[in-house]
Amino acid sequence: MYKSSFCGVIDELPGIYVDNFENAGEVRARAYFLSHCHSDHTRGLFSQELVNTLEVTGACLYMSEASAAIIEDEMVDERIMRYIRPLRMESTLVTLSSDTNQNVEEQIITVTLIPAGHCFGSVMFLFRTNTKTVLYTGDFRLSVNDISKFGYLNKDNEPILIDAMYVDTTFIDYSYENFPKRTESVEYVVEEIKKWLRDDNNGVALHMSAKIGYEFVFNEIYKKLDMKIYVNKYRWRFYSKIQHLVPSLTNNEKSTKIHSCMNWSEKTDHTKCLTNISSNINFLYIHFSARKWDNYEIDQPTINMSSSNRIDVCFATHCSRTELVHFVRHFSPKKVVGFPNPFPEKLLNNSSKASNTPLKRKVVQKEIKSPEIKVNKKVHSALLKVMFD
């Protein structure tokens, strides 16, 4: 999770706010959208001001079903649930109410949810009005090859035409040109855990850089080693409700030797994480991060044994610079708004400085007359598999 500076405003869609719920009374949103449940995207979501305003305006909050389940678990004022509208991974018509104060008429837009591959429940929003197509990516990681798997982003084997793209540029810096596939990193981690646990006196502490986003890691460890990962009762409260999706976690610390660690440093003990901790357990600390893997080369190992009991793992839940630039150029939108960093304009043109060969459009840009709704159920079922390749 990294700081997102997105203010919520989509210029093409007046009255819609995405991933920002602050100053609700003042902005009087017609609808809110939440791409995923990291705290830098939920500012103001749990405020009294938001609930009180919704009670007056009746505006709704749209999000994926998984995100709605997380909000239900974390909410402080249960009135918020009246306004939450979980959406499936498909196209939905959303009615924006009229507002005489702001002189806007009722409007119907099509919203399509696309898996964003960032964390549990994370989605992109594809908004379509009669005149505009806008893609808001939220935080995302999609490999170049996966773009074509999402039917909504393609039409007749061509990328759809996008008027404006609001895109996650967390790793636009040159020092993050490459990240390994997450499947590859996890494979190595599993091997190391297996070796370490050959000694009965050993345990494993997994350090993640965000509360959600590592469900795939947990599931893979469980699948390969037949051992669950212990989480504390607060996290278990949520994860116990979605065991069909994340079967790899447990709240029974005695049943496993691996725990999701609450410590920031190897120097502190695990009494915060484990209640029945014996002091002579020899822990292997596994740190997952992307930020510290600057200048990673694609043929470099994806894990690093930084001391005799610590492993650093390169695990990116955002696109690398290469993936990001490729994604944007694939669509060549008319306008690009990057967050938290600006998207360099030169990368949109056929500039020689760009790191990828530009993908040229074969079709002539034309106005989309009416929103087209196609339901592609395959996307949903293949979600977990596709999003981490």
Spatial distance between the Cα atoms of 161 and 310, rounded to a whole number of angstroms: 47
Stretch binding Zn ion (CB under 5 A), from 5-13, 244-252, 269-277, 342-350: 269-277
Structure tokens at 377: 């159920």
- In the bound complex, what is the minimum distance in angstroms from residue 244's beta carbon to Zn ion? 24
Q: Judged by CB under 5 A, how many residues of this single chain contact Zn ion? A: 7
- In the bound complex, what is the minimum distance in angstroms from residue 56's beta carbon to Zn ion? 30
Spatial distance between the Cα atoms of 352 and 341, rounded to a whole number of angstroms: 22
Contacts of 175 (CB under 8 A, 6+ apart): 294, 295
Stretch binding Zn ion (CB under 5 A), from 59-67, 241-249, 271-279, 359-367: 271-279
Inter-residue contact 140 to 117 (CB < 8 Å): yes
Residue 68 CA from chain centroid, whole number: 14
- In the bound complex, what is the minimum distance in angstroms from residue 96's beta carbon to Zn ion? 26
- In the bound complex, what is the minimum distance in angstroms from residue 277's beta carbon to Zn ion? 8
Inter-residue contact 166 to 137 (CB < 8 Å): yes
- In the bound complex, what is the minimum distance in angstroms from residue 34's beta carbon to Zn ion? 11
Contacts of 345 (CB under 8 A, 6+ apart): none
* Near Zn ion in 307-346, by CB under 5 A: none
CA distances from 113 to 8, 63, 225, 229, 253 (A): 17, 9, 34, 30, 37
Question: Residue 270 interacts with Zn ion (CB under 5 A)?
Answer: yes
Binding mask 110-139 for Zn ion (x = CB under 5 A): -----------------------------x
Spatial distance between the Cα atoms of 147 and 154, rounded to a whole number of angstroms: 8
Q: Which one among 66, 261, 325, 347 touches Zn ion, defined by CB under 5 A?
A: 261
Question: Residue 220 interacts with Zn ion (CB under 5 A)?
Answer: no
Question: Residue 205 interacts with Zn ion (CB under 5 A)?
Answer: yes
Based on CB atoms, which residue is closest to Zn ion, 54 or 290? 290
- In the bound complex, what is the minimum distance in angstroms from residue 67's beta carbon to Zn ion? 11
What is residue 361's three-state secondary structure? coil
Stretch binding Zn ion (CB under 5 A), from 26-34, 198-206, 220-228, 378-386: 198-206
Q: At how many degrees (to 10) do helices 182-196 and 215-225 cross?
A: 50
Residues that bind Zn ion (CB under 5 A): 38, 139, 205, 261, 263, 270, 273
